[in-house]
Amino acid sequence: MHLYLHIRIIKDQFNFKNDTIDKVRSWLPHVSLFDVDNYSDNTTIQTAIRAMEMADKIFIQIEAEQGPEPGGVLKILNTAMRKSSAVIDYRGSHAVMDKIMIRFKDRLTSSDRSQQQKLADFFNDGS
């Protein structure tokens, strides 16, 4: 299974629209999609972790706003540390997340390509 995991660290907990997931679904219909944010409950976080454990390849996109606590997202990132097949596309700025991303420096995507190109390259490399 190939997994695209979209993580948002946001101030507004009542923002349920996720245009990013809709775009990725149209670009890569064969990839499993999951999204969480810093307000996600423990069941949702545990389901995301289970999906990561089952996945062969994981593309994690993180969009962060300065200020709010990361919440259960930290559990997901701990799992990502143990998955060598996981890469991270980090966007935004957040004091805690910026420090955590240092641990993932070898698995961060470059910013010189579009999101669509990064995903296509990652998921369509023949594996």
For 61-93, what is each residue's pLDDT tens digit? 999 999 899 999 999 999 999 999 999 999 999
Res. 15: pLDDT tops 80: no
Cβ atoms of residues 70 and 53 within 8 Å: no
pLDDT of residue 111: 79
Q: Kindly list the distances between the CA atom of residue 50 and the CA atoms of 3, 5, 11, 13, 79, in Å, as whole numbers in the listed order.
A: 11, 12, 26, 23, 9
Spatial separation of the C-alpha atoms in residues 119 and 116, rounded to whole Å:
5
CATH architecture of 2-123: 3-Layer(aba) Sandwich (3.40)
pLDDT of residue 43: 97
Amino acid at 76: I
- Residue 57: what are its φ and ψ, rounded to 5°? -135, 140
Categorize the per-residue pLDDT at 97 as very low, low, confident or very high, splitting at 50, 70 and 90.
very high
Categorize the per-residue pLDDT at 14 as very low, low, confident or very high, splitting at 50, 70 and 90.
low
pLDDT of residue 126: 53
pLDDT of residue 112: 81
What are the sequence ranges of the domains in the chain?
2-123
pLDDT of residue 63: 93
Res. 16: pLDDT tops 80: no
Q: Which of 33-37, 47-51, 112-116, 122-126 has the weakest average pLDDT?
A: 122-126
pLDDT of residue 125: 67
DSSP class of 8: E
